[in-house]
């Protein structure tokens, strides 16, 4: 499964609002409101916040990858956002976050979930790619950046 298979324009924001970790998490989860794959958005929210309690998903370099598994989705869903302002995310490197990639999978889809987390992490580890995402003007531009980067980075 590719990132470009699950990330769609309508679930991407270039100016996500929120001043706290909780606010931006709620805002990025709310991007999924229109997804037909979501059975219960409140349960999705609960899964994401429960995972966040274990350890911050702020992995460093201004990036966080909030994720969780729940049967409140029918398939893997994703959202991506660039925050309007840097947000303290209790990141591993102590740096504030501006880029969030939300990934929600079903409880029984551990393999694809882990592979996608790994793929997202590898792409987001590239400084130039993160800079491009921060300057994107539209949702469709962000989705295209992911498609292009994925093609050049992985054998698909």
CA distances from 38 to 13, 75, 77, 91 (A): 18, 8, 8, 28
Q: Which residues are catalytic?
A: 67
Judged by phi (left if over 0) then psi (alpha if -120 to 50, else beta), residue 61 lies in left
Beta strands in 57-96 (DSSP E): 58-60, 63-64, 67-69, 77-87
């Amino acid at each position: 499964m590719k990132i470009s298979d699950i990330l769609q324009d309508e679930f991407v924001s270039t100016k996500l609002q929120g001043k706290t970790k909780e606010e931006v998490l709620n805002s990025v989860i709310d991007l999924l409101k229109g997804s037909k794959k979501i059975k219960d958005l409140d349960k999705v929210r609960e899964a994401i916040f429960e995972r966040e309690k274990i350890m911050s998903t702020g992995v460093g370099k201004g990036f966080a990858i909030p994720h969780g598994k729940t049967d409140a989705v029918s398939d893997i869903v994703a959202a991506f956002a660039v925050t309007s302002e840097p947000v303290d995310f209790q990141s591993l490197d102590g740096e504030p976050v501006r880029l969030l990639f939300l990934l929600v999978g079903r409880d029984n889809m551990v393999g694809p979930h882990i592979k996608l987390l790994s793929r997202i992490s590898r792409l987001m580890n590239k400084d130039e790619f993160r800079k491009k995402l921060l300057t994107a003007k539209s949702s469709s531009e962000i989705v295209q950046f992911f498609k292009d980067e994925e093609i050049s980075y992985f054998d698909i």
